[in-house]
Amino acid sequence: MAKDNRFEKVYSQSTLSGATQIWVDKETGVNYIYHSSGYGGGLTPLLDREGKPVVTPILNK
């Protein structure tokens, strides 16, 4: 059975204070930002200037 990964990491940056990543939901196109530092981390939708979620166009399979 083929493994279908719903999320794709499109950006990653590591600094002394932690790591930041951007993930895209391949079904909805919604972008999420994840930041980790030490033993903690958080995930939230990535928003544009108007407070709306950033959505990446989805290519049909």
Going by pLDDT thresholds of 50, 70 and 90, the confidence category of residue 61 is low
Prediction pTM value: 0.85
pLDDT at 2 over 70: no
Mean pLDDT of 40-48: 97
Q: Which residue has the higher pLDDT, 56 or 1?
A: 56
pLDDT at 60 over 90: no
Closest CA to 8 of 20, 27, 19: 27
Confirm if 29 and 45 have CB atoms less than 8 A apart: no
